A and B are shown apart, each in its own frame.
Chain A
Amino acid sequence: MGTDARTGSRERGDSPPADGSREGTTRRDMLRTAAALAGAGGLGMLGGSGIASAAARASIAAAPKRGGTLRAGVTSGSSADTLDPHTWLTNADGTRVYQLFDSLLAFDKNAQPQLSLAQEVTPNKNATAWTIRLRKGITFHNGKPVTADDVIYTFQRVLNPKKPLLGAANMAPLNIAAAKKLDALTVRIPCHTPFAAFAELQACYQYFIVPVGFNPKKPIGTGPFKAQSFTPGQQSTFVRNPNYWQRGLPYVDTLVISDYADETSQINGLISGQLDVIDSLSADSIAAVTNGGGKIVVSEGGSYTPFTMRLDQSPFNDIRVRQALRLVVDRKQMIKLVFGNYGQIGNDLFGLYDSAYDHALPQRTQDIEQAKSLLKKAGHEKLNLTLVTADIAAGSIKAAEVFAQQASAAGVTVTLQQVPVSTIYGPNYLKWTFAQDTWTYYPYLPNAQEALIPGGVFNECHVNDPAYNKLFKQLAATTDPKARTELTHECQTREYNGNASGYIVPYFQPEIDATSSHVHGLTPSKTSNPFGGFDLASIWLS
C-alpha cells in the first residue's frame, strides 16, 4: 500500500465495462475484446500510430459533458435516512454519503482498495503501528484543508467509548488515544494488537474523513458534491463541489436523490422521464426497463447471501451434516432460477475479489449420493430442518425456496419460515439455528474477523475452530503479501472443508441498475454496491 496508487479508475470516465460484467460471458467477451483490439491495432499500424489512433477513438467515444441535473431514485430509504458517514446503513444512505465524503482508501471498480485521501498508508514490520500521510492540497467543502487532526478526530469519533459507531468493532485494535501527529499531513497510530487489515479496512464503507468538530446536521466532507438540502425518507439535493480534488469530477451540477417505496415506481419514474438512474432492480424488471428505452448496468460483485448453520447446535454441530447440505445445492440451477442470466456461483467462501482468494479449491457441485451417505453416517437419513428466510437481499426468498426443493432430493425436508426483515434482524439475529444473512463485499481478512472468529461481531454460525483461530491470528499480524496469500489459502481450506465455517455460499448476487438513454459513465463495480459503487460523480448527461 506504500506507493501512490493513482486516483482510482474514476478519472478514466467511460472505461470499457468488461471488468465488472457478468461471469457467464466474460471469457467470450474478453476474446471478442481482444480480437477488436487486435483489429484496431492493425488498422492503426497501417495509419502510422496504433496507440495514438486508439486513444483518439476512445476520446471520441467518451467525451463526457459537464452540467445538468442528475435525478437518482433509490429504494431502501426511510425516515431513518442519515447523512452521517459513520452511521449510514442502507443503499439509500450510501448513495448520499459517498457523494459528500471520501476515505483514506477506496475500492476501485475491481473492488481493490486504492489510496484515496491518503498518499501513503504504511504499517511497521509486525503491523502494530500505522503511518498515514495525506495527499496535499485537499480541502473540505468549507475551504478548510484536510489535516492529520481530522484523521485523528475521525477515528476518535468512530471509536468513542461512550457511543461507539458502526465501524468501531473493526477498528478495535487501534490505540487511537496514543495517536501521534508527525506533521500537518502525517499521523502515526499504534495498535493494541497486530492489525494488518487496517489499510484495506479503510475502504470498507465506514471510515470517511470528517473535519474536527463534525456536525452531521451540517455534513461537511471532501466529496464531489456538497449537501444543499435533505429530508429523510424523501429527497436530498446536492450541488457540485467545484474544488473537488479529483480533477474534472463530478460532471453534473446538481444531484437530486429521492426515496422510492418499490421498484415499480422507480421504473415508472425512469420510463416517464422523471428519473435518470435507478438502483437495485430484480432480474424480472429488466425487460420493463429495456422495453421502455432504458439501459441496464449489471454489477457482478462480491456480495453474497449465505445460508447460515450454527456450529454449536444440533444437527449442524456434525461437520458431515454441514458438508452434506453444501453438496445438495445445484448452484448453477439456483442462480438460473433466481437471477436469470446473471449472478455468479459461489464455493462456500467469501472475499471473492481479494487478491489472496484461493481459486485453486475445486468448485463444489451438487452430489446427492455423497450428501446422502454423509447424512447416513451422521445418523440423519431423514432430516427435518426449519430455514428462516426474509427479503433481505435480491432473490433471497427465492433462493431459499430453491434450496428447499434441491435438498429434498437427499431426503432432507426443509420447512421455510418466512419472516419480515425486521424480525430476521431483530433480537434473534445471530442466534438463528438455520437462516440466511447477506453480506456486502469485504476483502477476506475483515470479513473473516467479523464472521469466523469467536467474539466477531457477526459470528452468526458461532464458529470457534482452534486451528483456524491460530492461523487467523498469524494472518492478522502478517504484512508480507506472499505470506498473507499462503495463510489466507490455509484459512479458506479450513472453511471449505467445513471445519471453520457454517456458511453455504451458493452464489454472489448481481446488482442491477438502470439509466435512461441520455445517461453515460455508469460502469459496473465489483463491490456490487449500486451505481457502480455509489459512483455518481462519473456520470454525465448528453
Chain B
Amino acid sequence: MALRRASPLERHPLARLVLGRLVVGIGTLLVVSILIFYATEVLPGNAAYAILGHNASAQEVHVLEVELHLNRSTIAQYGSWLGNMLRGNPGMSLAASLPVWTVVKARLINSAVLALVSGLIGTLIAVGLGVVAAARKDGKLDNTLSATALAVTALPEFVVAIALVMLFATIVFRILPGISVLPPGTYAWQRPTLLVLPVASLAIIIVPYIFRMTRAAMIEALESDWVEMARLKGVPPLRVLARHALPNALAPIIQVVALTFLYLAGGIVIVENTFAYPGIGQGLVNAVTTRDIPVIQFIVLALAAFYIVVNILADVAVLLVTPRRRFPR
C-alpha cells in the first residue's frame, strides 16, 4: 500500500490560508448584505418617499412603490436581490433607474485610483522617512520627524484637506484646483491636476502611522544581535540597513500598510466630500439619501470585499517575508 500523499492543500499552507479566508470572506459578505438590508429597513421612509419628496401625495408614493417593488416584504425583496446577485446582476438603481453597475462603475474606479495612488505615495515616503529616522535615532532629524508625525496624527482629515485648499487653491496661492469635479465619463487619470490635492491630503494623513511603525520596527531590528554581528564584520552601514535590518522589519510594516489601506477605504469618503470628488463616498451618501438599496448594497459589499482582499494579501505578504512561519510546526 502506497503511503498516503499529503493533499495539495496540506503541502501549501499559503493556498490553505487563502482558501480558508476566502470561504470566511464570502460568509462575511452574505451577513453584511443582510445587515444592510435590515439597516435600510429601519430608516424611516423608503426610496419612493425619498425620490418624490414631501410634495408627493399618498397616491403618487404608492404608484412609485409598486413600480419599484417596494410594496413587497423585506424578505421577498432581499431574496430577489440575492438571486439576481448570484447570477451576476446587481440590479437597477431605484433613484436613477439605471443599472447599478452603470451608476457605480466610474465612482469605484475613481476611488480606487485615489486610494491606490495616495496609499503608494504615502507608503514610499513614510517607509523612507522611517528608515532614515531609525538610522539617526535620537538625532535632530529623528526628533523633528517624530514630533511632526505625532502632531499630524492629531489632525482630522478635513482639517488637512481644507488647509491644503486654503494654501494652494483659494486664499494664499491659487495654483491648484480647489475642487476635483470630473466631468461624467472621464476618469481621474485624465485630469491629473485634479488629483494633486486629494492625494496630498490622504498621503499626509497616512504617512505618520506608517512612519512611526517603520521607525520602531527598524530600531528594533537595528538593535538585534545579527545586525550587531554584521556591523562587527564590517558590513557598510547602508548595506546593513537595506539587507540586514529592513527585511526583518518588513512584517510589522506590511501589517500597518494593510491597515492604512483599510483605513483609506473609509477615510477617502471625507476627503472626497471636501473636494466634491466623484468617488464611492459621494455615491454612498447619495444612495443613502435616496434610500437606493441596490446601490447601497453594491458599494458596501465592494468595500467589504476590499477589506477581505486586503487582509488576505497582507497575511500572504507577511508569510512570504517571514519564512519560518511558512511551515507548520
CA A235 – CA B255 in complex, angstroms? 40
**Once the chains are docked, how many angstroms separate the CA of A363 from the CA of B183?**
50
Given A78-B95, A272-B170, the answer on whether A425 and B179 have CB atoms closer than 8 Å is no
Q: Do B96 and A233 touch (CB < 8 A)?
A: yes
Residues of A within 8 A of B51 (CB): 80
Q: Mark A217-248, 1 if CB is under 8 A from B, else 0.
A: 00000000000010111110100000000000
Interface centre among B275, B285, B289 (most CB of A within 10 A): B289
Near B by CB (< 8 A), chain A positions 411-459 give 422-423, 425-429, 437, 457
* Nearest neighbor of A438 in chain B, beta-carbon distance: B54
Q: Quick one: CB contact mask for B167-188 with A, threshold 8 Å, 1 for yes?
A: 0011100101111010111000
Interface pair B289/A235, CB less than 8 Å apart: no
User: CA A256 – CA B181 in complex, angstroms?
Assistant: 12
- Minimum CB–CB distance from B102 to chain A (whole Å) comes to 10
Give chain A nearest CB distance to B78 CB in angstroms: 21
* Contact partner, A79, options B53, B57, B174, B286, Cβ 8 Å: B286
A261 at the interface (CB under 8 A from B): yes
Report whether B177 and A274 are in contact in the complex, using a CB–CB cutoff of 8 Å: yes
Shortest CB-to-CB span from B201 to chain A, Å, is 13
| Also in contact, A272 and B169, with CB within 8 A (given A79-B96, A80-B95, A262-B273) | yes
In the complex, chain A residues 458-514 whose Cβ is within 8 Å of any chain B Cβ: none
- Whether A78 lies near B178 (C-beta < 8 A) is no
Bound Cα distance A165, B51 (Å) = 13
A265 within 8 Å of B by Cβ?
Answer: yes
Q: Are B169's CB and A268's CB within 8 A?
A: yes
Bitwise interface map of A from 257 to 289 toward B, beta carbon under 8 Å scored 1, else 0: 010111011001101111100000000000000
A192–B292 Cα distance when bound, in Å, is 39
Contact B274 A264 (CB under 8 A): yes
The one of B56, B93, B174, B289 in contact with A272, judged by C-beta atoms closer than 8 angstroms, is B174
Beta-carbon contact of B274 and A89 below 8 Å: no
List chain A residues, Cβ under 8 A from B27: none
Inside 8 A of B274's CB, which chain A residues have their CB?
264-265
Query: At the interface, yes or no: B55 with Cβ under 8 Å from chain A?
Result: yes
Would you call A67 an interface residue if the criterion is a C-beta within 8 Å of the partner chain's C-beta atoms?
no
Question: Across the interface, do A422 and B276 meet the contact criterion of CB distance under 8 Å?
Answer: no
Residues of B near A428 (CB, < 8 A) are 44
B15-66 at interface with A (beta carbon < 8 Å): 43-45, 49-57, 59-60, 63
Is A28 close to B, CB under 8 A?
no
Cβ < 8 Å to A, chain B residues 275-308: 275-276, 278, 282-283, 285-287, 289-292, 295
Q: Is the CB of B50 within 8 A of A422?
A: yes
Q: Which residue of A lies closest to B56 (CB)?
A: A166
> Which one, A79, A265, A426, A457, contacts B276 given CB within 8 A?
A265
Is B53 touching A269 in the complex (CB atoms < 8 A)?
no
A234 to B180, CA, bound (A): 12
A292 interfacial by beta-carbon distance below 8 Å: yes
Q: Is the CB of A274 within 8 A of B45?
A: no
* A211–B130 alpha-carbon span in the complex (Å): 67
Most buried by B among A163, A265, A291, A429: A265
- Contact residues in A for B60 (Cβ distance below 8 Å): 163-166, 168
How many Å from the CB of B109 to the closest CB on chain A? 14
**CB closest chain-B residue, reference A457:** B57
CB distance from A164 to the nearest CB of B (A): 6
Q: Does A169 contact B (CB under 8 A)?
A: yes
Check if B54 sits within 8 Å of A80, measured CB to CB: no
Task: Find out whether the CB atom of A260 lies under 8 angstroms from the CB atom of B276.
Answer: yes
Could you say which residues of chain B place their CB within 8 Å of the CB of A437?
54
**Residue numbers in A under 8 Å from B278 (CB-CB):** 234
Bound-state CA distance A68–B169 (Å) is 23
- For the complex, give the distance between the alpha carbons of A292 and B95 in Å: 36
Given known pairs A166-B60, A272-B178, the reply for A264 and B162 (CB within 8 Å) is yes
CA A269 to CA B169, docked complex, whole Å: 9
B45 in complex: contacting residue of A87, A258, A261, A423, CB < 8 Å: A423
Contact A80 to B290, CB < 8 A, known contacts A166-B60, A268-B169:
yes
Most buried by A among B56, B273, B278, B295: B56
B178 pairs with A269, CB closer than 8 A:
yes
Interchain CB contact under 8 A, A229 and B184:
yes
| Contact partners of A268 in chain B: CB under 8 A | 165, 169-170, 178-179
Residue pair A261, B55 in contact (C-beta under 8 Å): no
B181 to chain A: which residues have CB within 8 Å? 235, 258, 260, 269, 274
Kindly report which residue of chain B lies nearest to residue A161, judged by CB atoms: B59
Q: Which residues in B have their C-beta under 8 angstroms from that of A162?
A: 63
Q: In the complex, what distance in Å separates the CA atom of A422 from the CA atom of B273?
A: 20
**CB <8 Å contact, A292 and B171:** yes
Give the complex CA separation of A168 and B60 in angstroms. Answer: 10
A495 to B95, alpha carbons, bound, how many Å? 39
Contact across chains for A426 and B170 when beta carbons are under 8 A apart: no
Minimum CB–CB distance from A218 to chain B (whole Å) comes to 15
- Contact among B44, B178, B184, B287 for A274, CB-based, below 8 A: B178
Q: Residue among A79, A258, A457 with the most chain B CB within 10 A?
A: A79
Contacts of A235 in B (CB 8 A): 181, 183-184
In residues 31-80 of chain A, which contact B (Cβ within 8 Å)? Answer: 78-80
Please tell me if the beta carbons of A78 and B290 are within 8 angstroms of each other in the complex.
Answer: yes
Identify A89's interface contact among B43, B53, B273, B289, CB under 8 A: B53
Residues of A within 8 A of B45 (CB): 422-423, 425-427
Docked pose: A169 CA to B55 CA in angstroms: 10
Chain A nearest Cβ from B325, distance in angstroms:
45
State A163–B56 Cα separation when bound (angstroms). 12
A51 to B275, CA, bound (A): 51
Across the interface, which residues of A come within 8 angstroms of B291, CB to CB?
422
Q: Report B71-101 CB contacts with A as 1/0, cut-off 8 Å.
A: 0000000000000000000000101100000
Binding site for A on B (CB under 8 A): 43-45, 49-57, 59-60, 63, 93, 95-96, 103, 162, 165, 169-171, 174, 176-179, 181, 183-185, 273-276, 278, 282-283, 285-287, 289-292, 295
The 4 A-B pairs with the shortest beta carbon distances in the complex, nearest first, are A272-B178, A231-B184, A268-B178, A425-B54
* Interface, chain A (partner B; CB < 8 A): 78-80, 87, 89-90, 162-166, 168-169, 229, 231-235, 237, 256, 258, 260-262, 264-265, 268-269, 271-275, 291-292, 422-423, 425-429, 437, 457
Interface pairs (30), CB distance under 8 Å: A78-B290, A79-B286, A79-B287, A80-B51, A87-B52, A162-B63, A163-B63, A164-B59, A166-B52, A166-B56, A169-B57, A233-B283, A235-B184, A260-B181, A261-B282, A264-B162, A264-B274, A268-B169, A271-B169, A271-B178, A272-B176, A272-B178, A272-B179, A275-B179, A422-B50, A422-B291, A426-B44, A426-B45, A429-B54, A437-B54
Q: A229-B184, A269-B179, A271-B169 are in contact. List 12 more A-B contacts (CB 8 A).
A: A80-B96, A89-B53, A162-B63, A233-B282, A233-B283, A256-B183, A261-B273, A265-B275, A268-B170, A272-B174, A292-B171, A423-B45
